[in-house]
């Protein structure tokens, strides 16, 4: 039988590396403790932020071993279990089940673009053979999209499929999924992986998120979630804008997830250099971005300003999130769902 519905903020964590480019185990353990102490609801290793494709299968298993051992059941673990084929993915599901993980997240097949029928068949094969609950992972930027009928069919047919993590940032798509699935599967969880729309996603019924910003400012991401739960939407909206600036700087100003790695260094962790080689121009650009991120963190009181100082006012565009958030809030208020 499935356990309690997944909910809250699950942190997709960067994996610190040592000078040799190998997993920095002690720093990873320190990072786990730091995140839990700052209120994240769960951990999500081996995701996109965790650069799962840049580690070997053995390293991916070792990452989960370290995190599960350090967590010691304090928070649930949503383990990324996507391998190159169903056979290896099922083996990963079996192993992460023995480590006590709450569930696994499996990205839709990538490289080969599949039809909805192919996506369904892929997840159905895994679900039938998995001993652990499964979260579908929809990230159409990198993998075959998971459409609403496929989500509904898998939810109806597979008890082990208990959630979807959607990183499209598509609000109507999320609403259609919730409307299609919730009537028959009230236990099914909906998580957003798009930080820029975390608040509006929570407003329309999402249970939480897997948000890269929670790996850098877990204090703010957790507070936003708590404010949304308490229906203090104006305060939550203020935090959403602040998260947006950091999200844009980390995601769009550098090649993902190098901006996240740079930001985590500013919070006092020895992250090491990522596995993807960087050109000299990229390295110079990352240094500039690091100053921008440091200014954002300094504004929140998490670090000092860079030596060169910080500009007055933000340079990050907020029009898109303003349109989304205010539109959703306005519509919900017109419908009488939210108070004035």
Q: What residues act catalytically?
A: 137, 165
Token readout for 258 is: 């190098």
Q: Are 126 and 134 in contact (CB under 8 A)?
A: yes
The H or E element containing residue 126 is helix 116-129
Q: Give Cα 320 to chain centroid, integer Å.
A: 20
- Report the distance separating Cα 210 and Cα 273, nearest Å: 23
- Report the distance separating Cα 89 and Cα 40, nearest Å: 27
Secondary structure class of 143 (helix, strand, coil):
strand
| Closest C-alpha among 49, 76, 60 to residue 216 | 49
| Closest C-alpha among 173, 181, 190, 189 to residue 157 | 181
Secondary structure class of 78 (helix, strand, coil):
strand
């Amino acid at each position: 039988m499935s356990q309690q519905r997944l909910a809250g903020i699950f942190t997709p964590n960067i994996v610190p590396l040592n000078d040799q480019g190998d997993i920095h185990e002690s720093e990873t353990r320190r990072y786990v403790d730091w995140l839990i102490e700052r209120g994240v609801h769960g951990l999500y290793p081996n995701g996109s932020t965790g650069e799962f494709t840049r580690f070997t299968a053995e390293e991916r298993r070792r990452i989960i071993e370290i995190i599960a051992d350090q967590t010691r059941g304090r928070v649930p673990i949503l383990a990324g279990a996507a391998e190159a084929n169903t056979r290896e993915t099922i083996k990963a599901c079996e192993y992460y089940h023995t480590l006590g993980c709450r569930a696994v997240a499996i990205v839709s097949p990538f490289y080969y673009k599949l039809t909805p029928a192919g996506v369904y068949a892929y997840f159905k094969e895994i679900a039938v053979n998995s001993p652990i609950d499964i979260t579908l992972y929809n990230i159409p930027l990198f993998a075959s999209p998971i459409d609403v009928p496929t989500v509904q069919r898998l939810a109806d047919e597979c008890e082990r499929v208990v959630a979807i993590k959607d990183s499209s940032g598509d609000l109507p798509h999320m609403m259609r999924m919730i409307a299609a699935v919730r009537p028959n599967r009230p236990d099914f969880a909906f998580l957003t992986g798009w930080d820029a729309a975390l608040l509006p996603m929570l407003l329309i019924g999402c249970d939480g998120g897997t948000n890269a910003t929670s790996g850098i400012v877990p204090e703010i991401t957790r507070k936003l979630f708590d404010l949304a739960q308490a229906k203090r939407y104006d305060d939550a909206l203020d935090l959403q804008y602040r998260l947006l600036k950091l999200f844009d700087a980390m995601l769009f100003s550098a090649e993902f997830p190098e901006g996240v790695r740079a930001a985590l260094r500013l919070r006092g962790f020895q992250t090491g250099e990522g596995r993807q080689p960087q050109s000299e121009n990229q390295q110079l650009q990352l240094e500039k971005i690091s100053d921008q991120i440091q200014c954002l963190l300094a504004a929140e009181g998490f670090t000092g300003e860079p030596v060169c100082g910080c500009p007055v006012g933000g340079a990050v565009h907020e029009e898109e999130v303003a349109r989304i958030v205010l539109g959703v809030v306005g519509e919900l208020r017109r419908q009488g769902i939210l108070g004035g």
